[in-house]
A and B are shown apart, each in its own frame.
Chain A
Amino acid sequence: MSIVTRKIQATMLSLAIASALLLSACSSAPAAVEPTKAPEVAAEATAVPEPTAAPEAPTAEPTKAPEATATTEPTKAPEATATTEPTKAPEATATMAATVAVATKAATKVSAAAPTATEAAAVVADWAPRQLTATLSGSGASFPNPLYQVWISVYKNVVPGVQLSYSSVGSGQGKKDFIAYLTDFGGTDSAISSGDVATQAPDAMHLPMVMGGVMPMVNISGIKTSLKFTPETIAGIYLGAITKWNDPRIIKDNEGVALPDLTITPVYRSDSSGTTSIFTDYLTKVSEDWKSKVGSGSAVSFPAGIGASGNAGVAATVLNTNGAVGYVEVGYALAAGFPLPYVKNAAGNFVKPETANVSAAANGLNISSDPKKLAMSITNSATADAYPIAAFTYVLVRQTTYKDAIKAQALSDYLYWGLTTGQGATVRLGYAPLPEPMRKASMTALKTMVVDGKSVIDAPVK
């Protein structure tokens, strides 16, 4: 009898183990399946840029762009070519402009404003970063993280001795680590509060590095077109007032799109974040309801939705959730092959977060001459073709309190490089280059950095 039971037990167990092994053997299948899913999604992206943009956003491109060009181009571009080596420079500018143009085409349309800035930025031939040896660590915003990682990986070729590392942990921690002297530099999309600046970081400088747009990234299976959002629908979704994709308020702006009866899952940042700060700053400006119920800040308590950590976490959550919407930096959605949405701006136009439109948000900025006061909000810009949820992202550096001169020199070289050559990478990754005046202001501020009273960088502001 006991032999029988033992046999039963043995068979049960071996069955269990066999099935487990089978299961694990099958597991290689999902791995193989995953990549095949991708082309489909990527193909969706193709539909986005060209055809739909033209009829639906007529107001966006033509009106403002030339003006932007006018302000920057004539003064800057010739000067850049003039100072550089005669044979090489024009060629360089030409190739740069070409690649930028192509890259912008990848993202969407080209406006004159974007290439002008990069063109000028790309070439500063009478300056080269010093070959120093230093280790620099920074932490902060995930918003510019893809760009910073690219900069770092390319900068390794320029100055091999400088070891840079940037951890994408969110603006909140970036600011906190920087204030607490845990890192050499910080990354943030929202300024350190004036109270903290006064008490804890009196010499902190916010150097604008690049511009970017925050967009609602939408995952509804079967819908590959760009959706249109108004401030009211975005606020409604995140307030929990609009809970279905086929809500009449959303349908009203998206006629012709077969929106399903699907629950909306808003995704927000669970960490203290500059992206949240930009997004809520915008919503506070456009929605009274939002202003009174939630407010703005880097870690507000959202009335609806689920949290995810970092821009990457939000993008990943949206990617894996049917019916989800999350606010992310444009590059994260582009990289995942998601369509760019339209958002209604202050002028009443539906605008996509394309490079030109993001750049347009910085038009007519009144830049302070105080190097410590470069941080400013540009959400809900009044410019006709401006994308409304746009922002500068900043690197935090210390004006006077670096102890190690070599370190400060290496850091300032890197940042200067980012403000010049580095701007060429922006468009390719879904960001917008800094507008010329702001870029110069940032460089001027960078040049005020001193160690023991001695300036650490001597480079032309151009």
Chain B
Amino acid sequence: MRISIRTADSDVEGHMAQRTTPPEWSTGKSPLRHGDVPFRAGTIMLASAVVLLVFAIAWMLYTSSQEARTAFGWDLLFGSAWNPVQTELNPISFGGWPAVRGTLLSACIALIIAAPLAIGIGIYLAELCPISLRTPLSFLVELLAAVPSVIYGVWGVFVFIPFFNTAFATPVSESIGTFLPWFAGPIATGRGLLVTGVILALMILPTIASLTRDVLRLVPNTQREAMLAIGATRWETIWLAVIPYSRAGIIGAIMLGLGRALGETMAATMLVGNTQRISGSLFAPATTAASLVANELTNSVSSLHESALIAVAFALFGITLFLNFGARLLIWYVERNTRGGRS
């Protein structure tokens, strides 16, 4: 009996072994045989929903921010005055620089703190950790990556800020802060960019760490074995053979972490102080783009205000899109070049 099977890319023809009663669907007459085309079409359709969603978001952000973009142009990102309400002295203007600056600074602080630590954790988990600890530690790291951001916010407000104020912010502002404006006091509520940055660092740590670990595990064992065989220590093996091999992937992981830090809303809203004013000190309250949108969109006072906030969201979307694109490219590059790593 000759049957033909349609697969995704080619028609495969083959012979089936003799059977006394062939299954109904294999006789060539059953309607089941014709399911493949609609099946593929169906999956494509639903998969297209994902694509459509991305385009819908981009299109919505683009058109809804049109009004503000034509009115203010690049000032939306780089202008420094954010006045939603007309007053005698201050005309309406939407300059998002305080928010953009806050976003960039807090994300940078987060990255500076988190990246080295996270890579350390990744290395430890992938290369050095005793087998008995590996599973629980990996689980813990993955669990922490899943903790909702509002919980980081609660912890930050009630526990971390009081601790940070007495243990770090006050002494630093009184010593270093007297000559370095970045750390200048006074410490009022304790909410500010530095605190936000530290909490964001905690949030992106697990993300970067688990991705780094995954990337390191993709490195083929032959790399390690070759290095060890010529008498290298474990660290030398890691530093000279494993990390160079997966460098692109680690950078990708960091970029994904950066993306998360840039777009984080709740923890930032709760910790940053929500102040539309640029202050030289990292201890002073500030704002971030995401928290600006979260705070003001539902109570925007005019359609121009709403449009300006959507423009800020648009910029945020653009930046994270770009970062994701880069990061995925790098991770994909590593994956393509490393087949047969250890699992």
Check B82 against A307 for contact (C-beta < 8 Å): no
A331: interface (CB < 8 Å): no
List which B271-330 residues lie within 8 A (CB) of chain A: 273-276, 285, 287, 295-296, 298-301
B279 and chain A: residue at smallest CB distance: A306
- The residue that B188 contacts in the complex, of A6, A263, A295, A300, with Cβ under 8 A, is A263
Task: Tell me the chain B residues, 149-197 only, with Cβ under 8 Å from chain A.
Answer: 159, 185-186, 188-191
The segment out of A74-82, A125-133, A286-294, A386-394 that lies at the interface is A286-294
Per the bound structure, the CA–CA distance linking A270 and B300 in Å amounts to 12
Contact A294-B87, Cβ < 8 Å, known A9-B130, A301-B81, A323-B188: yes
Say if the beta carbon of A420 comes within 8 Å of chain B: no
A412 at the interface (CB under 8 A from B): no
Q: Please, how many angstroms separate the alpha-carbon atoms of A292 and B88 in the complex?
A: 6
Give 7 A-B contacts (CB < 8 Å), ordered by A residue.
Answer: A172-B301, A176-B299, A265-B188, A294-B87, A298-B301, A299-B84, A306-B191
Q: Given A172-B301, A272-B296, A307-B274, A301–B189 Cβ distance below 8 Å?
A: no
Q: Which 10 A-B pairs have the closest CB atoms?
A: A295-B87, A173-B299, A172-B299, A265-B188, A297-B85, A270-B274, A272-B299, A307-B274, A306-B285, A263-B186
Q: Is the CB of B130 within 8 A of A294?
A: no
Please state if B130 and A272 are interface contacts (CB–CB under 8 Å): no
The answer to whether A455 has its CB under 8 Å from any CB of chain B is no
Known contacts A9-B130, A297-B85; 4 additional CB pairs below 8 A are A271-B299, A292-B89, A300-B83, A307-B276
**Is B133 at the interface (CB under 8 A from chain A)?**
yes
On chain A, the residues within 8 Å of B234 by CB distance are: 2
In the bound complex, CA of A308 to CA of B128 (Å): 46
Cβ A10 vs Cβ B130 within 8 A: yes
The reply to whether the CB of A69 lies closer than 8 angstroms to some CB of chain B is no
B138 to chain A, nearest CB (A): 13
B88 (CB) vs chain A CBs: closest residue: A295
Q: Does B221 contact A (CB under 8 A)?
A: no
| Interface assignment of B90: CB less than 8 Å from any CB of chain A | yes
Which residues of A line the B interface, CB within 8 A?
A: 2, 6, 9-10, 13, 27, 30, 169-170, 172-173, 176-177, 263, 265, 267, 270-272, 291-301, 305-309, 317, 320-321, 323-324
Q: Which residues of chain B have C-beta atoms less than 8 A from A307's C-beta?
A: 273-276, 285, 287
* In the bound complex, CA of A176 to CA of B88 (Å): 23
**Contact yes or no, A169 B298, CB < 8 A:** yes
In the complex, what residues of A have CB within 8 A of residue B84's CB? 272, 299
CA distance A263 to B88 in the complex (A): 29
Bound Cα distance A292, B190 (Å)? 31
> Do A169 and B82 contact each other (CB < 8 Å), given the known contacts A295-B89, A301-B90, A306-B274?
no
Check if A13 sits within 8 Å of B133, measured CB to CB.
yes
* Most chain A CB neighbours (cut-off 10 Å) among B84, B124, B185: B84
B139 to chain A, nearest CB (A): 14
Interface centre among B82, B159, B189, B275, by most chain A C-beta atoms within 10 angstroms, is: B189
Given contacts A172-B301, A307-B274, contact A270 B295 (CB under 8 A): yes
**B82 CB contact (under 8 Å) in A291, A298, A301:** A301
Q: What is the size, in residues, of chain B's interface with A at 8 Å between Cβ atoms?
A: 35
Contact across chains for B274 and A321 when beta carbons are under 8 A apart: no
Give the contacting residue for B159; candidates A30, A176, A272; CB below 8 A.
A30
Query: What are the residues of chain A within 8 A of B287 when measuring CB–CB?
Result: 307
Separation of A294 and B87 alpha carbons in the complex (Å): 7
List, in ascending order, chain A residues with CB within 8 A of B295's CB: 270-271, 309
Encode B62-91 as 1/0 by CB contact (under 8 A) with A: 000000000000000000011111111110
The 8 Å CB contact of A321, one of B128, B189, B299, is B189
Specify the chain A residue showing the minimal Cβ separation from B188.
A265
Cα-based distance from A301 to B92 in the complex (angstroms): 10
From B81, B87, B300, give the contact of A297 (CB < 8 A). B87
B301–A306 CB distance below 8 A: no
Q: A residues within 8 A CB of B285?
A: 306-307
Q: How far is the CA of A292 from the CA of B82 in the complex (A)?
A: 18
Q: Are the CB atoms of B299 and A291 closer together than 8 Å?
A: no
Mask: chain B, 23-60; 1 = CB below 8 Å from A; 0 = not: 00000000000000000000000000000000000000
Closest to B298 in A: A173
Contacts of B87 in A (CB 8 A): 294-297, 300-301
B129 / chain A contacts, CB cutoff of 8 Å: 9
- Complex Cα distance A324/B88, Å? 28
Least Cβ–Cβ distance between B308 and chain A, in angstroms: 13
- A308 to B296 Cα, complex, angstroms: 12
CA distance A294 to B83 in the complex (A): 10
Distance in angstroms between the alpha carbons of A10 and B298 in the assembled complex: 51
- Contact yes or no, A308 B274, CB < 8 A: yes
Using A301-B276, A306-B274, A309-B274 as known contacts, say yes or no to A320 and B89 having CB atoms under 8 A apart: no
Task: From the candidates B86, B89, B133, B300, name the one contacting A293 in the complex (CB within 8 A).
Answer: B89
Take A300-B85, A300-B87 as given contacts and tell me if A306 and B275 are in contact as well, using a CB distance cutoff of 8 Å: yes
Q: Is the CB of B188 within 8 A of A321?
A: yes
Closest B residue to A320 by beta carbon equals: B189
Which B residues lie within 8 Å of A173 (CB)?
298-299
- Alpha-carbon gap, A271 to B129, bound state (A): 49
- Measured CB to CB, the nearest residue on chain A to B294 is A309
Q: How far is the CA of A309 from the CA of B287 in the complex (A)?
A: 13
Expressed in whole angstroms, the Cα–Cα distance for A306 and B273 within the complex equals 6
Point out the residues of chain A lying under 8 angstroms from B275, CB to CB. 270, 305-307
Q: Which residue of B lies closest to A264 (CB)?
A: B188
Interfacial chain B residues near A298, Cβ < 8 Å: 85, 301
User: How many whole Å from B193's CB to the nearest CB in chain A?
Assistant: 13
Nearest to B191 among chain A residues (CB) is: A306
What's the minimum C-beta distance from B166 to chain A, rounded to whole angstroms? 12
Which residues of chain A are within 8 angstroms of B159 by Cβ–Cβ distance? 27, 30
| A27 and chain B: residue at smallest CB distance | B159
By a CB distance below 8 angstroms, the chain B residues around A321 are 188-190
Residues of A within 8 A of B83 (CB): 300-301
Which A residues are in CB contact (< 8 Å) with B89?
292-295
Are A6 and B130 neighbours in the complex by a CB distance under 8 Å?
Answer: yes
- Chain B residues near A267 (CB-CB < 8 A): 189
- Which of B82, B85, B89, B295: most chain A Cβ within 10 A? B85
In the assembled complex, the Cα of A75 lies from the Cα of B44 at a distance in Å of 77
Give the shortest distance, in Å, between A307 (CB) and chain B (any CB): 4
A324 to B89, CA, bound (A): 27
State in angstroms the CA–CA spacing of A27 and B155 once bound together.
Answer: 11
* Complex Cα gap A173–B300 (Å): 7
- Cα distance, A2 to B237, chains bound together (Å): 14
Look across to chain A and name the residue whose beta carbon is closest to the beta carbon of B90: A301
Q: Which residue of A lies closest to B85 (CB)?
A: A297
A311 to B89, alpha carbons, bound, how many Å?
Answer: 27
- The distance in angstroms between the C-alpha atoms of A327 and B214, with both chains bound, is 52
Please report the C-alpha to C-alpha distance between residue A307 and residue B1 in the assembled complex, in whole angstroms: 79
Chain B residue at minimal CB-CB distance from A276 = B85
Residues of A within 8 A of B188 (CB): 263, 265, 306, 321, 323-324
Bound Cα distance A295, B86 (Å): 9
Least distance between A162 CB and chain B CB atoms (Å)? 25
A169 contact from B186, B189, B299, Cβ within 8 A: B299
Given the complex of chains A and B, what is the CA–CA distance between A10 and B132 in angstroms?
11
Q: Who on chain B is nearest to A1 by CB?
A: B233
Question: What is the CB-to-nearest-CB distance from A334 to chain B, in angstroms, rounded to a whole number?
Answer: 22
- Given A9-B128, A169-B298, A299-B85, A324–B133 Cβ distance below 8 Å? no
